[in-house]
Amino acid sequence: MNEEYAYGQLRRALRHAGAGSARAASWRAVLDGMADGTLTVGSRTPVADTPAWVTLEVLHGGFASGRYLAEAPLRQDETDVVRSLPDDAPGTTDRERLNLHYLTDEGQAVLLGALAAGTYRIDLPEDAALTTVAWLLAHDRHAEALDLVAALRPLMHRLRMTPRFEAAPVPAGSVVKLASVGQVKASLRAVITPPAIDTMRTRLRERPLYDRLVALWCETVEGDLPELQDDGVVTGGWPCRVWPEDWAARRTALLAETEGVTTHPRANFTRLRAALVACETDSRVLTARDVGWVRRALANTIGKHGAPGSERRTALREAGLAVAARPTRAGLADAVACRLDVYPDDGGVPSVEPVAADVDGWRVPESLVVKVTRALEAPVEELVARNVITSGEVLAIVLPQITSSLLAANIEDPALSALYAHTYAAFRRRRGLLLLDLATQVGFTELPWVAALEPLRAHRRDHAEAARKALAQTTMLALTSFPQTILPNPLVSEFVTLAKQAGASLPLVEEIAADIFMGTFTTKFRDAAVVASRVMAGSLYARYYDLPETWPEETTNRWGRKVADGFAKACKDRAAEAHRGRVSGVAANGTVLEQSQILTTHNLAVLADGLGLWDRLAPLAPDLAARALGWALHRTAVPTTDRHAALIAVKNAAYAWRQGIFFLSFCDTERQWTIVDELRPRLAGTDLGPAVDGLAAVVAGYRFDAAGKVQNGQRWLGWGGGLSG
């Protein structure tokens, strides 16, 4: 949160990427901005004199560099338009002249044409601004259009406010993809062949030349070919004793063919060719020492690979040439990328199989098939089943493609609905800022061009039901696919949007970073805790974590937000169990935040209750519980030498343990005992015996004491004291 962190990131960038890297330049900009006051870390408007709606470059940790992402050089097509404008076209910069051009009748016609045909792409939310103006003007909403232009005008000289025009419509629908065809092609064409592999393939292709060189020298041997004995002594005949008539001519031709071949100075090939160069005629200019080296080189290669023309040497060369003839991974990747050229760069592929089919009889490696599968357009459930979506974080990447369509469905005009959907998808690609003082991230409807369209969104009941159904399906997908992990913040954000669209009042909470925790919580945390205490009352989860039965309504105002003082106090009091006098700073914050997740079940109870998922979760609960609890034990058994990584592993394992107990609460007692007994053989390599004993004791009806202990067991917490002490 301070300069020390930024300096650390700059040092890391310099170490890994060098002084001239873009990453290092961005971190320098952060430090310069913090020093001169043009950057305010922790604010939702961190860049001075910049409205919240501007899309910023956000670095690791939520630091804004001060750069506007939409402040980009003109593309070639944009440059061509600017060059075609009259010399007296208004504007102080080319970008301003271009933006103002698209406010003219001619420019508006271009935008409206692309909007109607769908032949445009929204990379950043700002790309939709002037197209929205064009639609408003075309539909006689002049006041809204003028207000929007007034909001945009101060930054028209810097920001791109028009879309990228495409030849074909950008696809949209209920299917999703993890990456576009263009992104996958770039990934495939970035595959390279390691230099060592290239060198090996070159050597294999050169082996026939080496064999001809050996054969040429063997023709000069009188008697048996040289052989290398076990004691290192060379026996057999001597080279340079017999000189065939055409030997000199063949020598000259072979020297020309091997001109570009380079090998180790002491390699047999090098010595035999050097001797060939020295032996300019058949007048035997080689010294006795040279002849001795030729004899030993021949003995070496004949002993290792066989005599020229022998079955052994022939088989080795055929095998080597077969290996050299095989396409490289990079070659196959390029062939697959060429197949993708027939698809629009912005779209996906309907099927992986034709793209990843064999190339000239050679199978495409699985690693390349995985890359192609990222562009597969399919229902989100299929992408999870194919392991394209492997976590809640990845699920959050594709979910806006569904959410955007549901939000846009409330707009009757099809073209405007598509623009709204594309804008939402672009907005969700914005990286979140580091925020302090309970500040919230910029909302979608805070974008001036989106706010201008909000009155046009009719909240219809069928669309609300569709959003509710999508939220329920996605929740079930996340819980059943990744039962061991908490719902990540980007996914929670999408759930909040869907819940709002569905008209459902769900107090969904985010995970708060321990290093920026401000010591209090907004009232939605208390609201979520109230739901958790009500619906989990009497359950294994409530007994294991001692959930309060009631919650006082103690609230105050802080930083302009209503905060739940009673909830915060409860979290701090309960965190004492993990302290044991040894926890401070960030770790102390972590113990409090962990209690907030425990008390709210981190959205599990709220979603299950608010969406009516109990009947759907109950049959799956035993499997989900076993997977989450088993993952927790496995994660702690994975060794790590990095202390920070070890702490993160313990924290995540404890979170998985908590999720497992939530699911275990929906199992009958007999099934609970079965799952607990199945955990004991998996304790090898861990120190989690007390955790399993503690869970077993609670299943048996016992309760933890104030120190979190019961019989031989202990309550497992991820922060602070953990299971020690």
Give the C-alpha separation, 509 to 424, whole Å.
22
Question: Which pLDDT does position 584 carry in this prediction?
Answer: 67
| pLDDT tops 70 at residue 171 | no
Average pLDDT over residues 602-613: 96
Give 3-state DSSP helix, strand, coil % of the chain, rounded to 5: 55, 5, 35
| pLDDT tops 80 at residue 720 | no
Q: How confident is the model at residue 211 (pLDDT cuts 50, 70, 90)?
A: confident
| pLDDT tops 70 at residue 346 | yes
Half-sphere exposure of 511 (CA within 13 A, CB side): 17
Question: Which pLDDT does position 125 carry in this prediction?
Answer: 95
Q: How confident is the model at residue 625 (pLDDT cuts 50, 70, 90)?
A: very high
Tell me the Cα Rg of the chain.
35
Give the C-alpha separation, 565 to 491, whole Å.
27
Distance of CA 559 to the CA centre of its chain: 34
Q: Tell me the one-letter amino acid at 346.
A: D
The mean predicted confidence, pLDDT, of the chain is: 89
The rounded percent of the chain whose pLDDT value lies above 90 is 56
Helix (H) or strand (E) holding 449: helix 448-451
**pTM score, whole prediction:** 0.78
Give the C-alpha separation, 356 to 262, whole Å.
37
Partners of 148 in the β-ladder:
none
Q: What secondary structure does DSSP assign to 110-145, as a single string?
A: HHHHHHHHT-EE-SSGGGGHHHHHHHHHHTT-HHHH
Of residues 677 and 169, more confidently modeled: 677
Helix (H) or strand (E) holding 227: strand 227-228
Q: How confident is the model at residue 725 (pLDDT cuts 50, 70, 90)?
A: very low
| pLDDT tops 50 at residue 84 | yes
> Would you say 490 and 396 are in contact if contact means Cβ atoms under 8 Å apart?
yes
Give the C-alpha separation, 105 to 615, whole Å.
58
Which pairs from 388-392 meet CB under 8 Å and 24+ separation? 388/178, 389/178, 389/481, 391/482, 391/485, 391/488, 392/478, 392/482, 392/485, 392/486, 392/487, 392/488, 392/491
Average pLDDT over residues 493-511: 94
| pLDDT tops 70 at residue 566 | yes
Diameter over CA atoms, the chain: 110
pLDDT in tens, 113-146: 999 999 998 989 999 999 999 999 999 999 999 9
